[in-house]
Amino acid sequence: MFLIALSPILWLIIALSVLKIAAYKACPIALVIALAAGIFVNDMTIPHAVEATLEGVALACWPILLVIIAAIFTYNLTLQTKAMDTIKKMLTSVSNDRRVLILLIGWV
């Protein structure tokens, strides 16, 4: 039972690392494997399986979309307020060495 529940993850590991299948092709196959395991092994009804699939997609997309929207908002805000110019002046006054600036930006 444990290996059947683990089979979609094992499929992704094998497909992505050993078989070198693209993620956009391997993930739907893993979804089908998970649905089949839920329906046939765990006696899940098809409406519950579809509902669980949609909930999983929503829970996976929500944090990613939230971060993307926040990053776009912050970027547009810095462009509108000209804060990017202030940040650029401040960073270039620290050092002329680009390696130091990259380390500073990476750390922040």
Mean local confidence (pLDDT), 60-86: 91
d(Cα 101, Cα 87) in Å, to the nearest integer?
12
For residues 31 and 9, the answer to whether their CB atoms sit within 8 Å is no
For residue 101, pLDDT beyond 90: no
* Residue showing tokens 């529940």: 5
Residue 105 confidence (pLDDT): 80
pTM surpassing 0.85?
Answer: no
